[in-house]
Structure 1
Amino acid sequence: MDFPILLLIILLFLVIWYYSSCRKSDKLPPGPNPFPIVGNIFQLNGIIHESLSNLSQIYGPLMSLKLGKKTIIVVSSAEVAKELLQKNDLKFSSIGVPNAAQALEHHMYSAVWLPVEKQWQNLRKLCKEQMFSSERLNASEVLRQEKVQQLCKFVQECCINCERVDIG
């Protein structure tokens, strides 16, 4: 007699938990309803970019997915991405550092993972003015053309010798 009551309580708890996790915040973009615990992982079967493309045709160019405990926002349109990154860059720039970047302490030496503060703004300004300015890019044009020619020659030699092309 105790087992059916316990089973009913567990089932009721799972149903309540499922429906409470399906309710999305008003601030999140639309997206498919997640399954309990695993979220939307089963909707990303096969080739992931094709699955995301199919989902974006249903939910639009900006959608939210739940992968386990993590909620992610997927942007599948260049116009929407440009708007997000230009107008709301501070909201999206404070993302956590992934474990892969922390493994060899790459996050400590990269401008990508710096928190948004004065140092990050100074580095971004320095990159824009010194590294990626049109004068600097024009000055290195000869070197870039030489490297492209070397790559083309390498690929051609690999094709003649019927070898794999290891561009990495």
Structure 2
Amino acid sequence: MTELFFNAVSNGLSRLTTHLNTHGDAATTILIITFVLSLIWLVWMLTSKGSHPPLPPGPRSLPLVGNLLSLDPELHSYFAAVAKTYGPISRLWLGKKMGILITSPDLAREVLKLNDTIFANRDVPVAGIEATYGGNDIVWTPYGDQWRMLRKICVREMLSNHVLDSVYSLRRKEVRNTVNYLYNHAGSPVNVGEQMFLTVLNVITGMMWGGTVKSEDRERLGAEFRQLISELTGYLGMPNLSDFYPGLARFDLQGVKKNMKVLAKRFDGIFETMIEQRRTMGGDENKDFLQFLLKLKDSEDSNPPFTITHLKSLLMVITY
């Protein structure tokens, strides 16, 4: 009953917003939307009491926003203060989403080790859905056969000691280039953070498709990747109303979904170019992650099947 009410109000709110944007001013629109959201919250509070087990203690929350306004930018200090007041397990309301704060080693062991499969799944943020082809990567995929398949590929095949040892010369070369750069700029201001980022990015892209990209194209590709990764991580870390209030996701009030779609399309274009070049090259003389993933995709050994979407999602995760 409550779900039907929320769906009806949400659909009505969508039509109301469209009508007011056409025929009314912005102030009236905001006022009516605020009133409707307050009504939804009131009905939810009245209908949800007694339908769930008792919740852990936690700081007092405000209507609609919960504890969002009281969060401290230094989250670790804020969480420590909450734990000191309310104990080793407490709760926070982040908009319409509830978060459980665990600060005891024994409870952390229960959650992360003894019952890890129960707590393995998580809500995928809107930005994460767009960035990872619908959440088909190892970070956001629900626990199950598909997740175990992706984990096996990453841990046993791509990030094993043998594979990492095989790219030791690449890591050594990039570190030497960074040290030489710093040495040649001795006495001048240097952005150390940027240089460290470039070193890691060059190592990662070299491992992903070092045997695919021509040396003259690597600098151009690296510059394009730096810009895209900077924008992508910015949207992934941005607080988004659509994540705190799922009913508002269709409106995309902050434009996160729209902008992430643009970035994801640009990343997809790079991946498609790399895949096409790797298939054109053929042969096994230049081994990299991309070659291995393409070989796995074309084989029938993977169960469940390893698709091109999984391939691109893994490249995306390794990238950022």
**Quick check: TM above 0.5?**
yes
Residue 138 (structure 2) aligned to one of 95, 108, 111? 111
**How far did 1:68 drift?**
1.1
In the alignment, which residue of structure 1 is the partner of 2:80? Answer: 53
Cα 1:119–1:60 change in 2 (3 A) is same
Q: Distance in 2 between matches of 1:62 and 1:93?
A: 18
Q: Report the AA paired with residue 165 of structure 1.
A: V
Once the two structures are aligned, what percentage of the paired residues are identical? 31
Deviation at 1:23, TM superposition (A): 8.2
Residues 70 and 162 (structure 1), Cα distance of their counterparts in 2 relative to 1, 3 Å cut: same
Gaps of 5+ in 1: 1-13
Match of 1:165 in 2: 192
The residue aligned with 2:118 is 91
8 A contact 1:18–1:35 mirrored in 2 = no
Check conservation: 2:90, 2:101, Cα contact below 8 A.
yes
Does the CA contact (< 8 Å) of 1:44 and 1:52 recur in 2?
A: no
Q: Which amino acid aligns with 1:53?
A: A
- Residues 1:74 and 2:101 aligned together: yes
Superposition pairs of residues 78-157 of structure 1, within 5 angstroms: 80-141=107-168, 143-154=170-181
Task: Say if 1:39 and 1:66, in contact at 8 Å, map to a contact too.
Answer: yes
Contact 1:107/1:114 (8 A) holds in 2: no
Unaligned ranges ≥5, structure 2: 1-40, 198-320
Opposite residue 126 of structure 1, the aligned amino acid is I
Q: If each structure's helix is expressed as a fraction of its own residues, which one has the higher value?
A: 2
1:53-80 Cα shifts (integer Å, max 9, x gaps): 2112223344321011110123345664
Q: Which amino acid aligns with 1:113?
A: W
Q: Tell me the alpha carbon deviations over residues 94-133 of structure 1, each in whole angstroms, 9 at most, x when there is no partner.
A: 2221111123444445211112221111222332322343
Distance 1:144 1:27 in 2: 52
Cα distance in 2 for residues equivalent to 1:133 and 1:70: 37
Q: Does the 8 A contact of 2:182 with 2:190 survive in 1? A: no
CA RMSD of aligned residues (A): 3.8
Query: When the two structures are superposed, what TM-score results if normalisation uses the length of structure 1?
Result: 0.65
Q: Structure 1 residues 15, 116: CA separation in 2 closer, same or farther (over 3 Å shift)? A: closer
Amino acid at match of 1:69: K
Secondary structure of the equivalent of 1:42? Answer: helix
Match of 1:44 in 2: 71
Supply the AA of the counterpart residue of 2:152.
K
Higher RCO by CA contacts (8 Å cutoff, separation 6 or greater): 2
Q: Is the 8 A contact 1:22 1:34 kept in 2?
A: no
